[in-house]
Amino acid sequence: MKIEAITLREIRMPLVHFFETSFGRTTERRILLVTAHGDGIEGWGECVAGEHPFYSPESVDTAWYVLEKYLAPALIGRKLEIAADVRRYLPGIRGHNMAKGALENALWDAEAQQKNVPLWKLLGGSRIELPCGVSIGIQDSPEQLLDKIGVELSAGYRRIKLKCKPGWDVAILERVRARWAEIMLSVDANSAYSLKDAEHLKCFDRFNLLMVEQPLWSDDFFFHAELQKQLRTAICLDECILGERQAQAAAELGACRIVNIKVGRVGGFSEAIRVHDVCRQHGIPVWCGGMLESGIGRAHNIALSTLANFTLAGDVSASKRYWKEDIIEPEVTVSASGFIDFDPAKTGRGYEIKKALVEKLTVRTEVVR
């Protein structure tokens, strides 16, 4: 593809229900979309940075700045044989993976269209049965949480992940397990604990959890390895894994037994594939995380989830859990048995973009050419 222009666009989408984690509550998403134009094609990518630098150091505004000032200008006029070559042309920017990932994924999206193949096949996927889980935020009361879990189980979801933090953990798990002893259950702390809490975290072992996700500091491997030695429950790393190198370090140190892959956090599809591969070599199963994405990011997550080592249910759930109306057609839906309704025959990302709706939701655009 010869890249003629790159459009940055910010849309606003109110969430159907607030989403609360150990770092705060989100009620509306600001979403940065990237469009790469060239050869008569438009490739779309979604930047998964949040409104604030809480989950990661990036935010919508830092991503916009880095894309506008550095990443997009470096690609204008370039001819790329394949999307995976993009890194060769990007200037030496440290970090800012979510900004990089949005741009690279727009190029993969374009490449799949241009070659008229499904994006999932272009990525090297092979699985077409995609088990689906949900991530349930911290609620105003335990009763409200139990109600929500009930709704999601009735919808068919195969794994329930609860956000936790000190004060919203063991007592909550007691209540949930008293009601549902057998369901596949995990928790995600988003770095809310420290190694001083090791004795407390050991209580989690009572609840037969599939995993505890990112209990400790977002940049730490050593202390997670120390903690994993003390826990029977598998640790899953999320925030820590910024690429292949971190995945290898975590595997070799024994810092986790499971890895959450988010394509934005690792800087795009090609690095996500490398993380996937290194985990597979170490016998570490992976699953696809979620960042409250619009349909574009959701479609990309589905394509990524087809890779062989994505054996655990992901956080990529139905559009309607998050949005009144998603920006893709069809919306992402989930079967009564908890699998993503996925049509492997569709080419490209497999979902059309509702351009008129995107325009309506847009609050700013910038075209780099």
The residue count for binding Mg ion (CB under 5 A) is 3
Position 238 contacts Mg ion (CB under 5 A): yes
Cβ proximity to ligand NPQ: between 6 and 211 the closer is: 211
CB 243 within 8 A of CB 219: no
Cβ proximity to ligand NPQ: between 26 and 113 the closer is: 26
Residues 88 and 104: their CA atoms lie apart, in Å, by: 11
The residue count for binding ligand NPQ (CB under 6 A) is 14
- For 243, counting Cβ atoms within 10 Å of its Cβ (0-12 exposed, 13-18 middle, 19+ buried), the class is middle
Window 121 to 150, contacts with ligand NPQ (CB under 6 A): 135
Give the nearest distance from C-beta 233 to ligand NPQ in angstroms: 17
Q: What are the angstrom distances between the C-alpha of 260 and each of 47, 89, 167, 353?
A: 18, 28, 24, 27
Window 224 to 243, contacts with ligand NPQ (CB under 6 A): 238
**Degrees (nearest 5) of the Cα angle 159, 161, 163?**
175
Give the nearest distance from C-beta 88 to Mg ion in angstroms: 31
Window 293 to 352, contacts with ligand NPQ (CB under 6 A): 315
Binding range to ligand NPQ, per CB under 6 A, among 96-104, 114-122, 241-249, 290-298: 290-298
Q: Which of 172, 157, 28, 254 is nearest to 188 (CA)?
A: 172
Tokens of 78: 């370039």
Using CB under 5 A, which of 188, 220, 271, 293 touches Mg ion? 188
Which of helix, strand or coil describes residue 160?
A: strand
The residue with tokens 């996925």 is 342
Closest residue by beta carbon to Mg ion:
238
Positions annotated as catalytic residues are 163, 262
Q: Which of 135, 188, 140, 142 is nearest to 160 (CA)?
A: 135
Using CB under 6 A, which of 210, 291, 318, 327 touches ligand NPQ? 291
The single-letter code of the amino acid at 29 is R
Give the nearest distance from C-beta 115 to ligand NPQ in angstroms: 31
Cβ proximity to ligand NPQ: between 60 and 284 the closer is: 60
Give the end-to-end CA distance of the chain in Å, rounded to a whole number: 15
Q: Which of 249, 252, 278 is nearest to 261 (CA)?
A: 278
Cβ proximity to ligand NPQ: between 113 and 233 the closer is: 233
Tokens of 362: 């847009």
- Cβ neighbours of residue 88 closer than 8 Å, sequence gap 6 or more: none
For every residue of 214-269, DSSP letters joined together read: --S-TT-SHHHHHHHHH-SSPEEESTT--SHHHHHHHHHHT--SEEEE-TTTTTSH
The interface partner of residue 291, options being Mg ion, ligand NPQ, none and the CB cut-off 5 to 8 Å by kind, is: ligand NPQ
Position 290 contacts ligand NPQ (CB under 6 A): yes
Would you give the distance in Å from CA 119 to the centre of its chain?
Answer: 17
Give the nearest distance from C-beta 348 to ligand NPQ in angstroms: 25
Closest residue by beta carbon to ligand NPQ:
50
Binding mask 201-230 for Mg ion (x = CB under 5 A): ------------x-----------------
Window 36 to 55, contacts with ligand NPQ (CB under 6 A): 50, 55
Position 188 contacts ligand NPQ (CB under 6 A): yes
Binding range to ligand NPQ, per CB under 6 A, among 71-79, 199-207, 265-273, 283-291: 283-291
Position 21 contacts ligand NPQ (CB under 6 A): yes
The interface partner of residue 101, options being Mg ion, ligand NPQ, none and the CB cut-off 5 to 8 Å by kind, is: none
Position 190 contacts ligand NPQ (CB under 6 A): yes
Strand (E) or helix (H) holding 365: strand 362-368
Binding range to ligand NPQ, per CB under 6 A, among 219-227, 284-292, 299-307, 354-362: 284-292
Residues 56 and 241: their CA atoms lie apart, in Å, by: 11
Give me the residues that bind ligand NPQ (CB under 6 A), please: 19, 21, 26, 50, 55, 135, 188, 190, 238, 289-292, 315
Give me the residues that bind Mg ion (CB under 5 A), please: 188, 213, 238
